[in-house]
Amino acid sequence: MADKNNQQFVKEIADIKSDFPQWYTDVVLKTQLVDYGPVKGTMVIRPYGYGIWENIQRELDNRIKATGHENAYFPMLIPYSFLMKEAEHVEGFAPEVALVTHIGNEELPEKLVVRPTSETIIGNMYSKWIQSWRDLPVMINQWANVVRWEKTTRPFLRTSEFLWQEGHTVHATEEEAQAETLKMLDVYQEFAENVLAIPVIVGKKSEKEKFAGAKSTYTMEAMMLDGKSLQSGTTHNLGQNFSRAFEIQFLDKDGVLKHPYQTSWGVSTRLIGALIMAHGDERGLVLPPMVAPKQIIIIPIAAFKGGVLEKAQELRQLLLASGVRAEIDNRDQSPGWKFNEWEMKGVPARIEIGPRDIESDSCILVRRDTHEKKVISLNNIGATIVAELKDIQANMLEKSRKFRDSHIVICETVDELKQAVDSGNFVKAMWCGSRECEAKIKEQTSATTRCMPFDQTPVGTKCIVCGKEIKNCEGYVAYFAKAY
């Protein structure tokens, strides 16, 4: 009966192998992560989806604070004139900017921008707060929402409004700003791998792909199950671009008035999309224990017999005391229906307990990552489950790392690159660094330059596009992929 239920339940989501985009949409809706908002391109994050975001936020916030940053909050309405002060910045964001032009029937004397990012308004405030070298460094982060009017939207991946954190720091020297930019990239990479169980490729963005207004941008790129890349977090060395535009100056130790150097960096609810597309399977979500809202679901079998429900409640309390997020599903549904429901929702493991299990002082544990089913003792069950969750977390990272590494292909021609990305791979190749060659790759293959990794060990001698001989740091090792 359970097999029949499973077949019927899985029919509710598209086949992951034949229709990955529809599978993704089905999963985010049917697992109740989100629903579509009434305004085109917006999403309502439902409690289960927001529970994932809360765990992401908590884990990352701890890491941000551990590196010396403090949280603050800045207004979401920004004078339009602020955006106009930095030429590259306004050019990069103008197509996506939402404007407030009226309050009631009264037209505003100056249009207001609904925050697409906060460099400009934060720069304005820093110009008031920073006077001396003693005021530096400034190490501020904010958790906020932003609005970018995307033409093509998909829940979590691209929406007109989304949640994120954005760090904004100010430093006396260029060296300090660069060190901060790379340090936060390291923080993001550690978080992605140890919390989200997603291995990422880190490196520098090309001039074409960098953040509008930045001196340089660094990224972590995650491989999804269809071989496409998801830019999952970026850090930016802003140089003095914004400090000059907003007249941020400080009196240095040498008595000279100088413009400081700035950074910004952020990740968003896009990370939930990364979780779905990096770990999911034909049954739905597979959530890493570190961010799963419910780490263990307890399903009583014959709940009203032999003290089963009471034992399940006792078991939950033991797990809660061990720091495990555990819940009991005592709804009026068959056990098979519940198994399928929680498998689709990606709960890391479930416990089945019935009268016979109680007699043998045991229960059944079923892991979501491997589908392994085993009998475990109720004695010291808290420690047992904690160990299992750690193993699930580690196994998911290792599985993702093996998948990624097996889908990286070294290519020497554009034809090889096209075949590789069309087959669901990242391509590693030599590139001369010219925008012309970068544009040709996108035009001919739909792939883009994802990053230049820090390890620049050559994988060839010539540019994959123009054939130019590359030597003496005249070009780059780069990753190319189709991307979300």
Mean residue pLDDT across the chain: 95
Q: Where are the domains of the chain?
A: 17-279, 296-404, 408-481
Q: Is the predicted pLDDT of residue 411 greater than 90, yes or no? A: yes
- Give the pLDDT score at 304: 77
Buried b (16+ CB within 10 A) or exposed e, 56-92: bbeebeebbeeeebeeeebeeebbbebbebbeebbeb
Angle separating helix axes 47-66 and 174-194, nearest 10 degrees: 140
Percentage of the chain surpassing pLDDT 70?
97
Would you list the DSSP string of 173-217?
SHHHHHHHHHHHHHHHHHHHHHTS---EEEEEPPTTTS-TT-SEE
Q: Does 58 or 475 have the greater pLDDT score?
A: 58
Q: Is the predicted pLDDT of residue 398 greater than 90, yes or no? A: yes
- Give the pLDDT score at 9: 46
pLDDT digits (tens, 9 = 90+) for 105-159: 999 999 999 999 999 999 999 999 999 999 999 999 999 999 999 888 999 999 9
Domain spanning 296-404 has what CATH number? 3.40.50.800
Q: What are phi and psi of 250, to 5 degrees?
A: -140, 150
Rg (CA), the chain: 25
Percentage of the chain surpassing pLDDT 90?
91
CA atoms in the 13 A half-sphere facing the CB of 362: 9
Q: Is the predicted pLDDT of residue 473 greater than 80, yes or no? A: no
Domain spanning 17-279 has what CATH number? 3.30.930.10
3-state secondary structure of 172: coil
Buried b (16+ CB within 10 A) or exposed e, 407-444: bbbebbebeebbebbeebbbbbbbbbbeeebbeebeee
Amino acid at 436: E
Amino acid at 408: I
- Give the pLDDT score at 11: 60
Q: Residue 26 carries which DSSP code?
A: H
17-279 and 408-481 in the same fold: no
Q: Among candidates 165, 120, 349, 339, which has minimal Cα distance to 266? A: 165
Looking at the domain 408-481, which fold is it? Translation Initiation Factor IF3 (3.30.110)
Query: Is the entire prediction scored with pTM above 0.85?
Result: yes
